[in-house]
Amino acid sequence: MKITKVECLTVHPGWRKNLIFVRIETDAGIVGWGEAYSQYDRDRAIAAQVEEMGRYVVGRDPFEIRHILQVAFDDYAQRRASLEFHCAASGIEQALWDIVGKATDQPVYNLIGGKVRDRIRVYANGWSYKMRDADDYARAAEKVVESGFTALKLDPLPRPWRTYIPKQHIRQAVKTVRTIRDAVGPEVDILLDIHRRLAPMHAIDLANALAEFEPYWFEEPCQSENINALADVRAASPIPTVTGEALYGRAGFRPVLRERAVDIINPDVANCGGILELMYIAAAAEAEMIACSPHNYNSTTLALSATVHASAAMPNFIITEYFIPFEEFGQKICRNPLKPVDGYILLPEGPGLGIEVNEEVVRSMPGKPFPKRELPLPENEGPRAALPTKAF
């Protein structure tokens, strides 16, 4: 069996960013699907990488996944990786596993070691988009819990994203989380995402100020490349710390794991290198007694399914991400979308990724240019730096 075509389909799900799907044909009539991570204003560059890399995949045996990815890095990219490269490689790799699973009539998790669990816990995200008022967060959180989720994630800090912030930003975050905790009760897990924005002094202050609400985790308090900053926060934070969505491949995670700079990693199957690479990263973390919680700011179809298959075979898995605003799109383009029930997704049993894509519907929803954002000018900045304080 040989690969005859690699196609990139950029689609718009009706909310925020475009999604990037990868479709691979074979001379045996088997078609595989995958999904590359996308980011607003950069999705065209990622799609271009899928198309360029795909030219070198045509003519190869889809079973030779490891060699295809090695050639992509060593020879195609000449060992100069990037976000765009890793996203493209991830989408292609998922589609190859989909083909292999269909060819062998096996779900992917059976081909990567077999399942260690029958269901995958998920947390809700996307439910608080553009909210500012604490009461709005609380009412929305109540609806999320009423729909069956037992865990939800949010970024409690006001914008803009800056390294040094005033005390008022921390106070507002405390008010927001307190209001949510009061609304959902003590048993629902609240996950906090800081989006790599803070200096350690502010991150530590924020973690201490929020600890009384017993958050499940404190995600990406600092830039993920600054291992020392992450380690400083982990050492002082009463909340478990997380990083990984902006790290790519085993090499990107090596410094974090060696220094035990966090308690949990969250690599994304659509940008870390794919299913097998995610398994390698998780295994390395397992040896350091670090948990793995795959990131999934992707659709609720292909990338979610790839995540579920990897998580099923991952001993140190704890929870993964489900973006509620992409759910309607997933139901349109997928005949059997993965749907959480009481906060868990049951493992798909079909071959490959177990997802039946309606290609006609996918092609009817082409990507759209992302609207130009109003980014700050110097006069918009103002005095934002503040000294750390523990008085909240």
Phi first, then psi, for residue 78 (nearest 5°) are: 50, 45
Is residue 322 classed as helix, strand or coil in its secondary structure?
strand
Is residue 10 classed as helix, strand or coil in its secondary structure?
strand
CA 43 to chain centre: 16
Give pairs for 108-111: CB < 8 Å, separation 24+: 108/275, 108/306, 108/309, 108/352, 108/353, 108/354, 109/309, 109/310, 109/312, 109/313, 109/347
With vertex at residue 31, the alpha carbon angle to CA 29 and CA 33, rounded to the nearest 5 degrees, is 175
Residue ranges of alpha helices (H) inside the chain are 43-54, 65-71, 83-104, 108-111, 134-146, 167-184, 200-210, 227-236, 249-258, 275-287, 302-312, 327-333, 359-363, 378-381
Angstrom distances, CA of residue 140 to CA of 84, 154, 345: 34, 11, 22
DSSP secondary structure string, 118-167? SEEEEEEESTTTT--SHHHHHHHHHHHHHTT-SEEEE--SPSS--SS--H
The whole-angstrom separation of Cα 276 and Cα 94 is 9
Catalytic residues: 195, 295
Structure tokens that stand for 343 in this block: 């906060």
Is residue 310 classed as helix, strand or coil in its secondary structure?
helix
The whole-angstrom separation of Cα 121 and Cα 127 is 17
Phi first, then psi, for residue 184 (nearest 5°) are: -100, -15
